[in-house]
Amino acid sequence: MIQSTMQDFPLSVAAILRHGARVYGHSECVTWTGGGTPKRATFAEVAANAERLAAALTRLGVRPGHRVATFQWNDQEHLEAYFAVPAMGAVLHTLNIRLFPEQLSHIINHADDQVVIVDDSLVPLLARVVHELPAVEAFVVVGDGDAAPLERNGNGAPVLRYHDLLAAEEPGFAWPEVDERAAACMCYTSGTTGDPKGVVYSHRSTFLHAMAVQSASLVGITEADRVLAIVPMFHVNAWGLPYGAFLSGATLHMPGPFMQAEHLTAFIEAERSTLASAVPTIWNAILAHGERHELDLSSLRSGTSGGAAAPRVLLERFEERYGLRIIQGWGMTETSPLGGMAFPPPGVEPGTAEDVDWRMKSGRIAAGVEMRIVDADGAELPWDGEAVGEIEVRGPWITGAYHRDPAPEKFHDGWLRTGDIGTIDDLGFYQITDRVKDVIKSGGEWISSVELENHLMAHPAIAEAAVIGIPDARWDERPLACVVLRPDASATAAELAEFLGDKVARWQVPENWTFIDEIPKTTVGKWDKKPLRARHAEAELKVERVEKS
Amino acid sequence: MIQSTMQDFPLSVAAILRHGARVYGHSECVTWTGGGTPKRATFAEVAANAERLAAALTRLGVRPGHRVATFQWNDQEHLEAYFAVPAMGAVLHTLNIRLFPEQLSHIINHADDQVVIVDDSLVPLLARVVHELPAVEAFVVVGDGDAAPLERNGNGAPVLRYHDLLAAEEPGFAWPEVDERAAACMCYTSGTTGDPKGVVYSHRSTFLHAMAVQSASLVGITEADRVLAIVPMFHVNAWGLPYGAFLSGATLHMPGPFMQAEHLTAFIEAERSTLASAVPTIWNAILAHGERHELDLSSLRSGTSGGAAAPRVLLERFEERYGLRIIQGWGMTETSPLGGMAFPPPGVEPGTAEDVDWRMKSGRIAAGVEMRIVDADGAELPWDGEAVGEIEVRGPWITGAYHRDPAPEKFHDGWLRTGDIGTIDDLGFYQITDRVKDVIKSGGEWISSVELENHLMAHPAIAEAAVIGIPDARWDERPLACVVLRPDASATAAELAEFLGDKVARWQVPENWTFIDEIPKTTVGKWDKKPLRARHAEAELKVERVEKS
């Protein structure tokens, strides 16, 4: 054998910080203040504050491996915590400010957070659970706002001021050597089904993901960019932009609590952002705002959209009105999150229908991520754009377990089961069509509930439709179509089955139909199929059979 | 403590290969054939051939950890070996075809190469040493040319044909799992001083370096690129372009043996290369060729130059004549090689003198590489663009030893001593001014011999000048200026000392002068100072003293 002679140099958050602070010390973090002068700090200043924060946290008893949570907006102080906490060897736990109280206390306790850094504007939200956090030893409040509600925590944890703590320290904290496989950050899934699950990123995965964000084939940020990170920093590392910015020198634009379209667009206009990243809801709000106001988005070279599939009209409108190409990215908490982005291949003319077709894909597999689709038996399916299977991924920034929960049902031979159903074509573009839990397994084949629902909802008589799988002795499962008719409209099950007959394969047409008053919905307005399944199981739904001719 | 939940997924050459073969299976490797139709293969075809080659090498007895050498031009078959050998767990040893015979046999034996793959056009060069390679068990010849000279190897090693071997195998080789720290490739330094030293790249360093090549802040290649790799594949992994292309989908343009400017420019014109990478000598040859021929280089978005500092006029001419921006990169065999590239910072107007000033820097520190300058005592110096010290680097693709030679004198606290002297400014741009071995250590300070030589050679009476350090009881070393006067010109030592007096600091002006007939030179035309030092040591140089006033 022969030994590599390469240095055993750990990939770490401290290395990202050193690079940004020294090579791009002049690049800036610009935080929007809602109309006044934006707050500016150079990367060198952010790094100096991160050193002060690490010193302060050490004084509070934080040691390598301990968890420090943040309950913050996208702003300079949150960025300082992004670097200080992992670089000192502790673990940054970003808390989603939109969680229900019981979820919030659950994950703080599940992660054993020792310190919580909280923005003063968010103190009331955190205060709702402050008496249920026995392990928290200190609260650190950013800003001068009222922090009294936090004093009423059950365990006498002190409530300290961020800026006081930093003022008492000097820069120059000596970052420890870390094992690159040590925990750096953690984030919980939103837990739409069951309790949220914790994903713990390593220094290695964080560094590699930041390299990927820099890749010219992906986000490709450089020092010439001014990146408006609308995607929250509590939402899977703000898609890697903060760390990517320190590796590449891209200036960071941080909206703080000003997430309304008028603020975001004013920020873009004032600071000439070159790139903005947001979920479709925000992009839609900007579009709506633009219908009533003249907007100058000409500084944006691109926008990235993720978190949910964007409607086609969104991509088209931004292109038509602003010449702005929105590129969709796909990922999950479990994938750090960058799994792929839907950049059309070379040669496709921007602005054409073909260009939008490509951009409507879920993504193209990112270098560093491996993907496959498998059928219900776990056998790999071809990349022909036709075969439909569960998407599985693996790679150095993909999770292989959950915090204190190996969750073997979520993995398959070392691959993460994404729970998404879709196709992959021969260029590595993938299209997600459904969720595994919503797909109907019939005779070893899958029937897409989403596809049936989309067809049904195009019928003039139908207001809403949901399709669920119900047990079937012969086929394992068969689809049950749950239909809400429009007021004054009428249609029979047989008519609707015939309507579907020329749109999907014959065997996919449901023979079970029920007419109901409303489809149950989740708090974010998605179909909630659990109550439907329960009602069917308890024989509360009146099911009509349409026999195949 | 808390465990990261990330997958323990190895960074490997096989992962690079899988990505290129599947996501960019349609991208191409195009090999120039000297005028006829270029030879084309898709990445999918290259991958299939790599699988056949791995099967064939396995049949020849190659096992994980064994070394397979290549003695080849930049072409498709070399690319196949680039992937097959490391992906099968063996170690790719790229042999420099320009080595002296004794160096060539030395490194083949030092690396214990078991198989040598050789292009038929290079058989005569390899044949010169074939009887001195006892460990080689097989020679594999690419092409149908005469291979008889290899038959006369001392150990009866068979001489096989590459295309026969591949034809006998099927694709579908199952790449083994490798430890990412295992050896993947090796390359020897050119060994201008002493024997060549082997640097052994790991799978990890190779993958990370390929990610860096993709970075938008550096070469930033994407699927839209057609990359003309003029830099030889035996020269530090062709600067990472082959592996970078498979991660990014960039088409590879391979010149084969056709390294003359007329071929390279014909290739660019015919295949519309978007990027070309070469040493300054090649760029100069293209410029010279362009003086006699109309060239269309409009497809090139950029050119990269490395291996030696490019003269300013080279950058200026390419910009003026072809609108082509040549960007300099810096690296060494020891650094994989990408250490940094000299892209001007944002806001600098392309084509201005300021733009060229930035591009004349040696580079700007690449993300993933850490750099510092230290004084003669090893103390770190500031990044002020003024302080001059030895450049040291560290990082995941920097070597920490040499093959079978820890060479502790080349390292300092875990940093590689580059042997280069220079400055770093506050933006992380560095400027190499000298080699450590050529610098004069005087009273704890350094005097740049290169700077003194450049000033002296600007004097109208001087044809050539070299400055060496000679022992000095008080100052440790003092400069001795060795001057060759132009025919019919005259100047005294005192006059020349005075001439230097207003160009460098007073204490840097040599007080020791000698007038000689010629400066000794190396085979590549660089000053060879060793004979001068020897002649001074043996008192063969007549030294005149010029006392400071």
Q: Residue B134's Cα: distance from chain center in Å?
A: 29
Catalytic, A441? Answer yes
Top pLDDT among A448 and B255 is at: B255
CB environment A303-319: b (16+ within 10 A), e (fewer): bbbbbebbeeebbbbbb
CA B449 – CA B471 distance, rounded (Å): 15
Query: A129 to chain B nearest CA, in Å?
Result: 24
Nearest to A222 among B112, B216, B223 (CB): B216
Record: contact B216-A23, CB cut-off 8 A: no
Which amino acid, one-letter code, is at B468? I
Record: contact B181-A4, CB cut-off 8 A: yes
B512-515 and B544-545 beta bridge pairing: antiparallel
ipTM rounded to 2 decimals: 0.92
The tens digit of pLDDT for each residue in A48-97 reads 999 999 999 999 999 999 999 999 999 999 999 999 999 999 999 999 99
Q: Is A545 exposed, middle or buried (0-12, 13-18, 19+ CB in 10 A)?
A: exposed
Average pLDDT over residues A281-297: 96
Report the range of poorest mean pLDDT among A444-458, A464-478, B226-240: A444-458
Catalytic, A521? Answer no
What backbone phi and psi angles, to 5 degrees, belong to B392?
Answer: -120, 145
Mutation to test the A interface, candidates B9, B16, B369, most A Cβ within 10 Å: B9
Are B396 and A9 in contact by the 8 Å Cβ rule? The answer is yes
Task: Tally A–B CB contacts below 8 A.
Answer: 209
Record: contact B395-A9, CB cut-off 8 A: yes
Record: contact B212-A212, CB cut-off 8 A: no
The tens digit of pLDDT for each residue in A353-409 reads 999 999 999 999 999 999 999 998 899 999 999 999 999 999 999 999 999 999 999
Nearest to B5 among A2, A11, A401 (CB): A401
The tens digit of pLDDT for each residue in A219-254 reads 999 999 999 999 999 999 999 999 999 999 999 999
What backbone phi and psi angles, to 5 degrees, belong to B34?
Answer: 90, 20
Which one from A28, A137, A180, A334 is the annotated catalytic residue?
Answer: A334
Specify the pLDDT at position A549.
59
Residues of chain B with pLDDT under 70: 191-194, 523-525, 549
Where are the strands (E) in A358-493, listed by range? 363-365, 370-374, 389-394, 411-412, 415-424, 429-435, 440-442, 445-447, 462-472, 476-485
Which amino acid, one-letter code, is at A320? E
List chain B residues with CB under 8 Å of A1.
64-65, 183
Please, what sign has the CA dihedral across residues B153, B156, B157, B159? positive
Nearest to B399 by CA among B97, B241, B189, B229: B189
> Least CA distance to B395: which residue of chain A?
A9
Specify the pLDDT at position B508.
93
Give the CA dihedral A8, A9, A12, A14, nearest 10 degrees: 140
Are A38 and A31 in contact by the 8 Å Cβ rule? The answer is yes
For A454, residues 6+ apart whose C-beta sits below 8 A from its C-beta are: none
Which amino acid, one-letter code, is at A229? A
Query: B189 to chain A nearest CA, in Å?
Result: 13
Q: What is the largest CA-CA distance in chain B?
A: 81
User: Per-residue DSSP letters for B154-178?
Assistant: TT---EEEHHHHHHTS-S---PPP-
Average pLDDT over residues A537-547: 92
Nearest to A49 by CA among A72, A17, A73: A17
Neighbours of B131 (CB within 10 A): 12
Nearest to A67 among B2, B4, B7 (CB): B2
Specify the pLDDT at position A443.
85
Record: contact B201-A23, CB cut-off 8 A: no
The H-or-E segment that residue B501 falls in is helix B493-501
CB environment B285-307: b (16+ within 10 A), e (fewer): bbbebbeeeebebebbebbbbbb
Neighbours of B474 (CB within 10 A): 7
List chain A residues with CB under 8 Å of B6.
181, 200-202, 204-205, 396-400
List chain B residues with CB under 8 Å of A135.
none
Query: B396 to chain A nearest CA, in Å?
Result: 5
Report the range of poorest mean pLDDT among A80-84, A266-270, A435-439, B12-16: A435-439
Which one from A446, A451, A513, A527 is the annotated catalytic residue?
Answer: A446
Nearest to A199 among B5, B401, B414 (CB): B5
Average pLDDT over residues A159-167: 98
Nearest to A395 among B9, B204, B216 (CB): B9
List chain B residues with CB under 8 Å of A426.
25-26
Instruction: Using the predicted structure, report yes or no on whether residue A191 has a pLDDT greater than 70.
Output: no
Specify the pLDDT at position B225.
98
Nearest to A294 by CA among A277, A314, A269, A259: A269
> Least CA distance to A415: which residue of chain B?
B7
Nearest to A23 among B212, B402, B427 (CB): B427
Query: A205 to chain B nearest CA, in Å?
Result: 7
Query: A91 to chain B nearest CA, in Å?
Result: 8
Specify the pLDDT at position A524.
63
CA B80 – CA B52 distance, rounded (Å): 9
A39-42 and A67-71 beta bridge pairing: unpaired
The tens digit of pLDDT for each residue in A477-534 reads 999 999 999 999 999 999 999 999 989 989 999 999 999 999 998 766 678 899 999 9
Record: contact A396-B367, CB cut-off 8 A: no
CA B295 – CA B125 distance, rounded (Å): 33
Nearest-Å Rg of the Cα atoms of chain B is 25
The percent of residues in chain A predicted with pLDDT above 70, rounded, is: 99
> Least CA distance to B382: which residue of chain A?
A22
What backbone phi and psi angles, to 5 degrees, belong to B472?
Answer: -145, 130
Sheet holding A91-94, edge to edge: A159-161, A138-142, A113-119, A67-71, A91-94, A183-188, A198-202
> Least CA distance to A428: which residue of chain B?
B23
Nearest to B331 by CA among B247, B255, B235: B235
The residues of B carrying an active-site annotation are 189, 334, 441, 446
Nearest to A426 among B25, B215, B223 (CB): B25
List chain B residues with CB under 8 Å of A19.
365, 367-368, 370
Record: contact A427-B23, CB cut-off 8 A: yes
List chain A residues with CB under 8 Å of B211.
208, 211-212, 215, 367-368
Record: contact A9-B182, CB cut-off 8 A: no
> Least CA distance to A113: which residue of chain B?
B2
Query: A18 to chain B nearest CA, in Å?
Result: 9
Record: contact B6-A396, CB cut-off 8 A: yes
Going along chain A from its start, the domains and CATH numbers come out as: 13-166+180-278 (3.40.50.12780), 368-436 (2.30.38.10), 440-545 (3.30.300.30)
What backbone phi and psi angles, to 5 degrees, belong to A472?
Answer: -145, 130
Record: contact A7-B221, CB cut-off 8 A: no
List chain B residues with CB under 8 Å of A64.
1
Are B220 and A25 in contact by the 8 Å Cβ rule? The answer is no
Euclidean distance between the first and final Cα of chain B, in Å?
69
